[in-house]
Structures are given as structure tokens and as C-alpha cells.
Amino acid sequence: MSRLVWTKPWYRSRGVWGAILGVAGTGYGLWATVLPCGMWQSVHNYGSAAVTLYAAYLAFAGRRTASQPIHIFWRHQVEVHD
């Protein structure tokens, strides 16, 4: 059985935001490695790990609860199978 649904815009997808935050968390962690050793480097490393973990959770939750396909440029109707 199949039905027609509208695709949703990319910015409404938790999976896409999880991927974006994952890239940001990784970049933040790489930036934190150039800081001098000490307490602030540890704070930045933990912050980077927290952002990356939240991004992984967001991407996983977004994939598990996805009900509509996404499209990057414009919305259109697609056929989905139940």
C-alpha cells in the first residue's frame, strides 16, 4: 500500500540538524586542541564532547521518528510505501 505525501523542508529535519551539530562539535573539538594546556582546554574538550553527543542523539531520534521524506531545494509530492 502506498500514499502521496509532501516532502518537508530540510531545516525541519532533526537528522539534518544532528549532522550539522556533529560537524560543529567536531570542529569545536579540533579548535580546542590548539589551546594551551590547562583548565580551559579541558572545559572546551568537554563542551565539544557534549555538543557531539547531543548531535548523535538528535540524528538518531530524528531518524527513528521520521514520518516524511525531506528535500533540499523545494517541496513536492512523493509516493511512500507503508
> For residue range 10-68, what is the model confidence (pLDDT) as tens digits?
888 888 999 999 999 999 888 888 878 888 888 888 999 999 999 999 999 988 888 77
Q: Is the pLDDT of residue 75 over 80?
A: no
Question: With the C-alpha atoms ordered 46, 52, 55, 57, is the resulting torsion angle positive or negative?
Answer: negative
Residue among 60, 68, 50, 51 nearest 15 (CA): 60
| Domain assignment of residue 29, given as a range | 2-81
Within 13 A of 67's CA, how many CA atoms are on the CB side? 3
Q: Amino acid letter at 43? A: V
* Count: domains in the chain: 1
Residue 6 forms beta bridges with which residues?
Answer: 77
Q: What is the pLDDT of residues 23-35, one digit of tens each?
A: 999 998 888 888 7
**Pairing relationship of beta strands 77-81 and 2-6 according to DSSP bridges:** antiparallel
Q: Give the residue, 69 or 15, on which the prediction is more confident.
A: 15
- The per-residue pLDDT for 29 is 87
